[in-house]
Amino acid sequence: MAEGEVKQSTAENTAYDRNDLPELLPIYYKRLFPYGPYYKWLSYGGVQKSYFHNREFSFTLKDDIYIRYQSFADQSEMEKEIQRVMPYKIDIGAVFSHKPKDHKTVKPGAFQAQEKELVFDIDMTDYDDVRNCCSGANICEKCWPLMVIAIKIVDRALRDDFGFEHRLWVYSGRRGVHCWVCDESTRQLSQTARTAIAEYLSVVKGGESQTKKVSLREPMHPSLKAAFEIMTKHLKHYLFEQQDILGTEDRLKKVLRLFPEADILLRIRKNTWQILREILQEDAEKGGDSEDIWKRWLGTVRSEKERDNMKKSPFPLHEVVFQYCYPRLDVNVSKGVNHLLKSPFCIHPKTGRVCVPIDVEDVDNFDPFAVPTISTLCKEIDEYKEQPGKENEPQPGTKRKVQDYQKTSLKKSVDTFNKFVKGLSVMWRGKMIENSDQKGDF
């Protein structure tokens, strides 16, 4: 990559040809898809025998043929069906009262969604009004930090504010991220509770016609304070350097429109009433880069607050940071128990990239542009096979054959997923012991 060139991903510019998908999917589903840990995850250790049986899957086939209400008795049946139909996309739905494949034989009203992981969908297109580099399906290294910030903020809140332990973050394969919260109590939440949690995490509100979408009041909620601390660590690199939000006249005007209008914040200067927006514009006209201007603004706002001029809008600069950086959730995805969401490890048909799990502890180093495409993975298998003695070489210290995914760049992602499933196993083992003790009481 040439100096100064920005890595960018679009539906068209990845080294992948969608026409090759019919030939590549059989290889991927036969040799690389991690059926074992995938089944362990969605069956939750078989604590409830019907849990996996009653789980809905949906398949999107070639030519956008969409099939809902798929369900399977066990891992073997799931594997065979996926390898038979070769879905271009897999979505995971709720656990129903009956087997989804039998839903037409159930009396009307009796077929009901009963449980589902609490899920979150964060899409880069929802940030188009604050991105200065890309729009639509396009992403680049200048705007990807928005997803990093979103993961950090939402994950902290889910862990610390709600006590949820089992959270799986997944790259969507194109322009966003998903989160699956898998605690037992979470899977049993009502639609009302799911909506309340999603609303709790929603700060940026308003449609395209609304300019100012964040309003903060004093005292600031502890969760918002924690979120602001996370965003503050990204201000210099993301907001000032990569997005340069005050670096041009148009960008400056766009930010200034977020400040209070004449009837909210006033001060006397040269015997005339002047609004905060005008004062900050004068500060900006003194020159410097985005960071220089922001530092002057901090001093001005601090001075205004000391004069007691900030009662109706106590956090004007905080609000700018929240509007430009805070996570934007699709609340409708989170609140519905029966809402379907793209499965981890399926292939995004437009980019060819795998929907890989993200290690939250190393999220700063996650590179969406390094996520392998199905074309890359199939090539890596072939190249590994061509190396003499490699195909059946056992893993060091074991007699086990090397798994196919371990021959490719998918290994790190599968290892991350295995770590997550292993953490879940502690939960379901405890539940099995609890159930065993209860049976022993009779």
Q: Which residues are catalytic?
A: 56, 121, 123
The single residue listed with the structure tokens 């004449």 is 262
Q: Nearest Cα to 117, choosing from 176, 57, 167?
A: 167
Angle formed by the axes of helices 290-306 and 316-325, to 10°? 140
Q: Quick one: tokens of 19?
A: 């026409």
For 428, list phi and psi in degrees, rounded to 5.
Answer: -75, -25
Distance CA 368, CA 362 (A): 13
Angle in degrees, CA 45, 46, 50, rounded to 5 = 145
Angle in degrees, CA 190, 202, 423, rounded to 5 = 60
- Torsion of the alpha carbons at 223, 227, 229 and 231, rounded to the nearest 10: -170
Label residue 1 exposed, middle or buried (CB < 10 Å: 0-12, 13-18, 19+).
Answer: exposed
The CA R_g of the chain, rounded to the nearest whole Å, is 25
Distance CA 381, CA 114 (A): 41
The CA-to-CA distance between both ends of the chain, in Å, stands at 69
